[in-house]
Amino acid sequence: MRHLMNPMDFSVEELDRLFDLAADIEKHPEAYAHKCEGKKLATCFYEPSTRTRLSFESAMLNLGGSVIGFSDAGSSSASKGESVSDTIRVISCFADICAMRHPKEGAPMVAASRSSIPVINAGDGGHQHPTQTLTDLLTIRSLKGRLDHFTIGLCGDLKFGRTVHSLVNALSRYEGIHFVFISPEELRIPGYLRETLWSKALSFEEVIRLEDVMPKLDLLYMTRVQRERFFNEEDYVRLKDFYVLTKAKMERAREDMLVLHPLPRVNEISVEVDDDPRAVYFKQVRYGVYVRMALILTLLELV
């Protein structure tokens, strides 16, 4: 039995197979409509979510399965003091697979160690968000035809943004990737990630101004400042509008550059950019459903 805690849990070859499956699901959804009949997905969300939870639920429903779960820790027994380990042992009696989001780093890993069903990390604190990374990679692969030889800018809250940490890990295994980290001084990538990049001799730079690097990017991954992970509101207010991607800034970008964003967007991409064909963050949401369908089938060993 396999779990998914980190995008690195899958080899590059396994990811390729997963993305091929997702691409086939996109083309022939009817062929997969009954694959999970009789199976249940539990969504255990101890932190807010719109896309991740609903895309997991849509994925399971599209496969003919059903869904149980909670979307708020306050409505679960966590509010009575139940541990994640106990909760997953209980959930294992009800469901065949579980997607868990938790504010504490490592909580889904603890759950996985006690679970008798596959557990998927749907975001743990400021740590990892592997299924968003699968979504991001599938989007890039589908729209660009490859996952190597890119200059990718990651902009915004690189310190607390778990989607950034997972994506950088995952992309670091492909050839010819150059990372441009664009953040204010206070929100730079965590030291451990910088160390990993150094130790693998990967190519990266850290800059503050988005405008200056815009012309050289093949991909721009925008992120929101993660208010819920700040220790004080003043720092958040000072940093929240540090970057706003506008039409004027997009004029400096290549004609085939793609703008991705895990969403939710707050203010970091002006709505005027939404109509630009290079803005693919809403398309990305669709890929998130296909890739989660492929993931559920893979972890349930139904392919």
- Residue 127, interface with ligand NCD (CB under 6 A)? no
Would you please indicate which residues are annotated as catalytic (active-site) residues? 51-52, 80, 101, 129
Helix, strand, or coil (residue 179): strand
Contact pick of 224, 273, 291, 298 for ligand NCD (by CB under 6 A): 224
What x-and-dash track marks residues 150-169 binding ligand NCD by CB under 6 A? Answer: ------------xx------
| Residue 115: partners with Cβ closer than 8 Å, 6 or more residues away | 3, 88, 89, 91, 92, 98
Distance CA 152, CA 158 (A): 13
Contact pick of 71, 121, 132, 151 for ligand NCD (by CB under 6 A): 132
Closest CA to 221 of 284, 176, 173: 284
Nearer to ligand NCD, 35 or 102 (CB): 102
Report, in Å, the least distance between residue 123 CB and ligand NCD. 5
Closest CA to 210 of 140, 257, 264: 257
Restricting to residues 102-121, name those near ligand NCD by CB under 6 A: none
Report, in Å, the least distance between residue 53 CB and ligand NCD. 9
Nearer to ligand NCD, 39 or 130 (CB): 130
Give how far Cα 28 sits from Cα of 18, 22, 133, 274, 286, Å: 15, 10, 23, 28, 15
Contact pick of 262, 268, 281, 287 for ligand NCD (by CB under 6 A): 262
Distance CA 303, CA 292 (A): 14
Report, in Å, the least distance between residue 290 CB and ligand NCD. 15
Kindly state the tokens that stand for 201.
Answer: 């001799």
Contact pick of 95, 239, 263, 291 for ligand NCD (by CB under 6 A): 263
Nearer to ligand NCD, 69 or 123 (CB): 123
Report, in Å, the least distance between residue 20 CB and ligand NCD. 23
Nearer to ligand NCD, 258 or 263 (CB): 263
- Residue 35, interface with ligand NCD (CB under 6 A)? no
Outline where the chain has alpha helix (H). Answer: 12-27, 51-62, 84-94, 107-114, 130-144, 162-171, 191-199, 210-213, 233-239, 247-250, 281-299
Kindly state the tokens that stand for 82.
Answer: 């139940």
Task: Determine the interface stretch with ligand NCD among 65-73, 105-113, 199-207, 260-268 (rule: CB under 6 A).
Answer: 260-268
Q: By CB under 6 A, name the binding residues for ligand NCD.
A: 51-52, 123, 129, 132, 162-163, 224, 262-264
